Structure 1
C-alpha cells in the first residue's frame, strides 16, 4: 500500500510523469517515472469533444502539441474565456479523440529542458484509460503498487459546456476496480464544489489543491469572496476535512520566500492540517535553479530534505529520482 501511515515515508507523486526528462503527460513520461520509483503518476485531465478524458496540462494545446503545424486544423483556432482569462489557440473540447490522436506532443518549456525536445513529434496524447493500463502492467511487472493521482482541470468550465469531468472519471476508475478509501488513487482539484460533489459519489480519497494566491474559480462564479488563504485557516481546514482527505499545497505556503527568493521560517500549516487528520502533499519540486529558492541553488536534494523535515506526507516532483535520494524521506 502506498498511502501514508505513521512511520511510512512520504509518497512521491510524479508530476505529469517524469516531466523533467520527457515531455509532460505522455506515456513515456509516466513509464519513466515508474521506472525511477514514483508511488503515483499524476495526469491532469481534460475532455475531448466526444467526452473522453485525456491527459493535458491545459485544454488549450498549442504549447504542448504540434497542432499549430497542422493546416487541416487551422479553422479550429479560436479565442475562449477559460476561468476568467482570455486564451487563444486550439482546445481539446473542439477535437474528437481520433483527431487528437493524430497530433504529437512536444516539450512545454524547451528553453529550460532542451534535452526533452528530442522527443518532440514522437509521442501521442494519452487517454486516462491508457495511463491506467500502463500503471497496471508496470505494477504487476514490478510487484509493487503504483497509484494514480488525477486532477480535474477547469471543472466549472467543462460542466458549463456539457462535458462534465466527474462522471466519466468515476466511471473509468470503477471500471478498473479502483474502489474504496484504500484504493491507490487521489482525485484532486483547485475548485471546491466539484470535490464536495465527488465526496457524495465516491469513497476514493480527495485532495483540495491550495494555491499561493487567488481563490477557487467556482467561488468566483458563485460570488463567494473566500480565498485560498481562508481555506487554510484552522476553521477552513476543518471544513475541508468534511469532504477531502488531503490538501495539495503550493510549497511557499509551508516555507515562504522573501523578495530576494530566500526562504523564511516555516508556517504552521503542516501541524494545523495534521491536527484535523488531513494529509499534506506539496507542489511542485523541480531541479532547475529558476524554480529553486536562493538557499538551494544547485542543490535540489537539499530542498527536499528541508521540506521532509517538516513532516509532510508527499511531494509532487518532475524528478522522482532526485526525491529518492533524500536523506530525510
Structure 2
C-alpha cells in the first residue's frame, strides 16, 4: 500500500484523529485548498447545534466530536472583561429575562445602527453576567439545557483549548471575533488591546500559533495589526439574504457593510470586498477571508407568474429548501490567487437551511464546498462536517 493511501485510510478510520489530519497535505485531488491541506472544521460557537452556544460545555463537546478549531465572539462587560457572547444584547442567548433583579436594566438602544431592546453586556459586571444561564437560540434545537451553563470569559476558553490540546494530544485552535468593536469603543470599552494582551499572555502571538483573529470591521483588524499582532487575521464578509430570482446576495442593515465604513460615510456594501481589487486590499492587512457561504455557492428559487418565489415543498414557508444550489462563483479561486485562505460561514443541518438538491443531508452541502476549494468551514454541527470530509478523504 502506498504511504499516501495508507495515511488517508488512517485519517478516515480514526475519528479522534481527524482534526490532527488537517495538517496532512491534501494529495488526493478532492481538496483544492490554498496550501494543499485538508479544510479545517471550525466549530461555530462550539457544538451549537446540540448545546447552548459559546459555553465551555459547547466548546468541550465540539472538541470531543473532533473539531480542529473552536470559534467564539468577544463582547465586553461593564468592568471591561472579555466574555464569549455572539451579541451585546444578552436577551438573545441568555436567560436574563428570567432574572427579576435585572429587570430595571432593560433598555432600547442602537447596535451598529440597528434598534434593539433587551439587556446589554456593557450594563453588567462580569460577576453579574456569570449568574446568568445560556440558552439555545434556535427553537428547532435541544432546549433541555437552557439555563444550565454559564457564560465564560475569553481567558477561560483559552485555558480550555490548551487543556484539551494536552488531554487529546492534538492541537485545538481558537478563532475569536472582535464583535461590534466600534459599538464598544464608543461606550469607552474598546476591546482590541485586551484581545492582544490575552493572546500574548497565552504565548500565541505568531502566524503559526493555534489562533485566528476575525472581525467584520476592517478597522479592528488593521488596528491590531498596527499594534504588532502577528496572528493570522481574517476579514469577515456578510450579506443579508439572497434574491431567489437571480441568486445574487442582497444587503440590508445591519448586514450591509462594516459598521466602521458606515461611521466614515463609506456607502459600499460587503460585495466590494469580494472583487479582485477588494481582495487585494484585504491582503494588505489580513491572511484570509470568512465570507457568507452564498458568495461562493448561492441558491436560486422557482419563480411564479406573480414574480414571487414558489413554495416548492408546500410547507407554507419560503426558505432555502425551496431553492436549488447554483454553480460556484470564482471567489475561492480569486481569493487563493490573492494569497488568502477562505473559511465560509455558517453550515447547519436543519432542512430549512439546505437547498433542495442537497436532499436534506448537510453532508452534501459540505461536499460541494470542499470540492470548490474552501480552506475551512464554520459549522454548528462538527460531526456532520467531519463525516463529509472523511468521505472525501477515503
TM-score normalised according to structure 2 size: 0.81
1:22 maps to what in 2?
51
Residues 1:247 and 2:247 are matched in the alignment: no
1:304 maps to what in 2?
366
2:263 maps to what in 1?
221
The structure 2 residue matched to 1:274, chosen from 323, 332, 336, is 336
SS in 1 for 2:324: coil
1:48 maps to what in 2?
77
1:138-177 residue pairs with structure 2 within 5 A? 138-177=164-203
CA deviation vs aligned residue, 1:94-129 (integer Å, no higher than 9, x gap) = 0000001111111111x211x2x1111210001001
Larger Rg: 2
2:90 maps to what in 1?
61
Deviation at 1:297, TM superposition (A): 3.5
Total equivalences in the alignment: 326
Residues 1:211 and 2:244 are matched in the alignment: no
Deviation at 1:23, TM superposition (A): 0.6
Distance, in Å, in 1 between the alignment partners of 2:130 and 2:328 is: 45
Residues 1:185 and 2:190 are matched in the alignment: no
Q: What root-mean-square deviation, in Å, do the aligned CA atoms of Structure 1 and Structure 2 show?
A: 1.3
1:234 maps to what in 2?
276
Deviation at 1:140, TM superposition (A): 0.1
SS in 1 for 2:328: coil
Distance, in Å, in 1 between the alignment partners of 2:68 and 2:202 is: 18
Please list every run of 5 or more consecutive structure 1 residues that lacks an aligned counterpart in the other structure: none
SS in 2 for 1:148: strand
The structure 2 residue matched to 1:107, chosen from 136, 140, 144, is 136
Distance, in Å, in 1 between the alignment partners of 2:51 and 2:106 is: 27
SS in 2 for 1:150: strand
Deviation at 1:5, TM superposition (A): 6.6
1:81 maps to what in 2?
110
Q: Given the superposition, is the C-alpha separation of residues 17 and 62 from structure 1 closer, same or farther in structure 2, using an over 3 Å criterion?
A: same
Deviation at 1:176, TM superposition (A): 1.0
The structure 1 residue matched to 2:155, chosen from 126, 129, 132, is 129
Structure 1 segments of 4+ aligned residues over 3 angstroms from their partners:
1-5
Please list every run of 5 or more consecutive structure 2 residues that lacks an aligned counterpart in the other structure: 1-19, 24-32, 240-250, 303-322
SS in 1 for 2:299: coil
Is the CA contact 1:309–1:328 (under 8 Å) kept in the aligned structure 2? Answer: no
TM-score normalised according to structure 1 size: 0.96
2:311 maps to what in 1?
none
